[in-house]
Amino acid sequence: MMSEDRLKIGLGQLDMVWEDKEENRKKVRKMVQEASYQGVELLVFPEMTLTGFSMEVEKTWEEDGETVEFFKDLSQEFQMCIGFGYVKKSENKGRNQFCVVKDGEVLTEYTKIHPFSYGKESLYFEAGNEITGFTLKNFHMGMFICYDLRFPEVFQLSARKNQVILLIADWPKARVEHFRTLLKARAIENQCFMVAVNRVGIEKEVYYEGSSAIYSPKGELLTKEVDEESLIVTEINLVDILEYRKSFPQREDKRTELYCKLYRDADAVNESFS
C-alpha cells in the first residue's frame, strides 16, 4: 500500500482554559510536541481552540490573525498539518472559523454554516455560506463545526468529493449521545471517515465529556473513548473506503435532482400557508 494512502491522525482533546489564549497555547504546544513524537501527520483540535465556546466576541475575535500565525509556526516547526478553531472579526459580529495549516501556510478556512441559535450563537456570530475542504496526501477532506452535525444535507454535499470529513466541536455532555449517534450516522450514510474532536472539562456549569472519535465508512468506531484531556491517535487507510464504496455502491442510488425538486415543492407549499 502506498504511504500516500495511509494517514496518521491525532485528535487533540483539550480541557481549555476559559478565554485564556496564553494558557491554551501552552497546552496546544505540549500536545503538538507529543503528537510529533508519535508520528502524527494531521492533528485536529476542538472548536474555538484557544478560548472555549465564548460569546464574548469582543474579547475573543481577531483582526491580526495571531492565532493563525501561532498555528502556522507550529506546523512549520513540527512539520505537521494542524486543524484548529478560532474567532475572526467580521464587521459587528464574529465568525466561528475552522482553519487548517501545513508547512507554515494556510491550506483552507471554513466558517460555521449553522450558528447554534438555541445557545444564542447566532446573535454574535455570522453564518458561513460555503462548504470548503483540502487535500492531504491522497485524501480529500471536508470540514464542519459542531452544530453543523445536525444538518445532514451539507455532509452529503461534502462527501460527493471527500472521503474524510472533519468536525471540531464544543459539544456538551448533556447531549453527547446525539453527538455519538450523528457521527456514526454521517459516516454510514455518506460512506466516509468521520473524524470528530470535542473538548472536555467544565465551563460555566456546562460539562464536556469528550467522546472525540473516528468512525469508519461502515460506522465502526476506530478509537477508544476518553473522557479526559488526551491525545488520541489512529491511522486510516484510503483503500478501505475506496473498496467499500465499490463493493456497496449506495451512493449511485442518490437522486439529487429529485431531492432538490421536492425541497422546492415543499417550500412553495409552506409559503402558500404563510
Global pTM? Answer: 0.96
User: Among residues 172, 131, 143, 124, which one has the least CA distance to residue 82?
Assistant: 143
Cβ–Cβ < 8 Å for 115, 96 = yes
- Which comes out higher in pLDDT, residue 270 or 223? 223
State mean pLDDT over 89-101.
94
Residue 42 has pLDDT above 80, yes or no: yes
CA distance 162 to 122: 28
- Which comes out higher in pLDDT, residue 254 or 1? 254
pLDDT band at 86 (very low <50, low <70, confident <90, very high): very high
The model's pLDDT over 159-213, given as tens digits with 9 standing for 90+, comes to: 999 999 999 999 999 999 999 999 999 999 999 999 999 999 999 899 999 999 9
Structure confidence at residue 54 (pLDDT):
96
Percentage of the chain beyond pLDDT 90 is 93
Q: Which CATH class is domain 3-248?
A: alpha beta
Structure confidence at residue 165 (pLDDT):
98
Percentage of the chain beyond pLDDT 70 is 98
Q: Which residues contact 38 (CB under 8 A, 6 or more apart)?
A: 8, 10, 231, 233
Vertex 7: Cα angle to 4 and 9 (nearest 5): 160
The model's pLDDT over 168-179, given as tens digits with 9 standing for 90+, comes to: 999 999 999 999
pLDDT band at 227 (very low <50, low <70, confident <90, very high): very high
Structure confidence at residue 188 (pLDDT):
98
Residue 50 has pLDDT above 60, yes or no: yes
Structure confidence at residue 2 (pLDDT):
65
Cell of 15: 480541557
pLDDT band at 268 (very low <50, low <70, confident <90, very high): confident
Kindly list the domain boundaries of the chain, sorted by start residue.
Answer: 3-248
Structure confidence at residue 272 (pLDDT):
63
Structure confidence at residue 32 (pLDDT):
98
Cβ–Cβ < 8 Å for 68, 219 = no
